[in-house]
Structure 1
Amino acid sequence: MTRETSKHRHIAKAQPGSTVSESYKKLRTNIRFSVMGQAVNVILVASAVTGEGRTTTAINLAISYAQENKSVLLLDADLRRPAVAQAFFRTSRAGLSDILIGQGKLQDALQQTDIANLFVLPAGTVPANPSELLGSAAMLELLESLKSQFDVIIIDSPPASSFADAQIVGAMSDGVVLVARSGKVTKEAVRRTRLGLEHVGARILGAVLNNSSRGRVESSYANYYGYGGDYT
Structure 2
Amino acid sequence: MQKINLVIPDNMDYRTSEAYRTLRTNVLFCGEEINAIAVTSCTPGEGKSEVSFRLAESLAETDRKILYIDADLRRSVFSKRYQVTQEVKGLSHYLSGQEELGAVVCATNISNLHVILPGPVPPNPSELLGNEHFRQLMEKTHALYDYIIIDTPPLGSVIDAAVIAKECDGAMLVIENDAISYKMAQKVERQLERSGCRILGAVLNKVDVRAKGYYGKYYYSKYYGGDYSSVYYQKPEEIK
TM-score for the superposition, normalised by structure 1: 0.87
Q: SS at 2:208's partner residue? A: coil
- Using the TM superposition, give the Cα deviation of residue 218 of structure 1 relative to its aligned residue in structure 2, in angstroms: 6.2
User: Is this contact kept in 1: 2:74–2:121, CA < 8 A?
Assistant: yes
Q: SS at 1:89's partner residue? A: coil
CA distance in 2, matches of 1:140, 1:208: 27
Question: Equivalent residue for 1:221?
Answer: 230
Larger Rg, first or second structure (1 or 2):
2
CA distance in 2, matches of 1:208, 1:71: 23
CA distance in 2, matches of 1:125, 1:156: 16
Which ranges of structure 1 fall in alignment gaps of 5 or more residues?
Answer: none
Q: Does 1:24 align with 2:20?
A: yes
User: Is this contact kept in 2: 1:93–1:125, CA < 8 A?
Assistant: no
Question: Which one is further off, 102-111 or 173-182?
Answer: 102-111
Question: Equivalent residue for 2:166?
Answer: 171
Q: Does 1:43 align with 2:52?
A: no
- Which of 137, 155, 159 aligns to 2:154? It is 159
User: Is this contact kept in 2: 1:92–1:123, CA < 8 A?
Assistant: no
Question: Equivalent residue for 1:77?
Answer: 71
C-alpha change, 1:148 and 1:28, in structure 2 (3 Å) is same
Question: Which one is further off, 57-66 or 90-99?
Answer: 90-99
Q: Does 1:6 align with 2:9?
A: yes
Q: Does 1:65 align with 2:59?
A: yes
C-alpha change, 1:32 and 1:186, in structure 2 (3 Å) is same
Q: SS at 1:7's partner residue? A: coil
C-alpha change, 1:144 and 1:67, in structure 2 (3 Å) is same
Q: Does 1:189 align with 2:192?
A: no
Q: SS at 1:75's partner residue? A: strand
- Using the TM superposition, give the Cα deviation of residue 145 of structure 1 relative to its aligned residue in structure 2, in angstroms: 1.1
User: Is this contact kept in 2: 1:20–1:218, CA < 8 A?
Assistant: no
C-alpha change, 1:43 and 1:133, in structure 2 (3 Å) is same
CA distance in 2, matches of 1:141, 1:4: 31
Q: SS at 1:46's partner residue? A: strand
What do residues 135-189 of structure 1 show as CA deviations (whole Å, max 9, x unaligned)? Answer: 0011000111111221110000111011110001111111011100112211111
- Which of 138, 141, 145 aligns to 2:133? It is 138
Q: SS at 1:158's partner residue? A: coil
Question: Equivalent residue for 1:201?
Answer: 196
User: Is this contact kept in 2: 1:88–1:113, CA < 8 A?
Assistant: no
Give 1 or 2: higher helix fraction: 1
2:196 maps to amino acid: G
- TM-align CA RMSD: 2.2
Question: Which one is further off, 129-138 or 205-214?
Answer: 205-214
Between 1 and 2, higher relative CO (CA 8 Å, sep ≥ 6) is seen in 2
Question: Equivalent residue for 2:105?
Answer: 110
User: Is this contact kept in 1: 2:42–2:175, CA < 8 A?
Assistant: yes
2:23 maps to amino acid: L
CA distance in 2, matches of 1:149, 1:26: 25
User: Is this contact kept in 2: 1:181–1:211, CA < 8 A?
Assistant: yes
Name the count of aligned residue pairs.
220
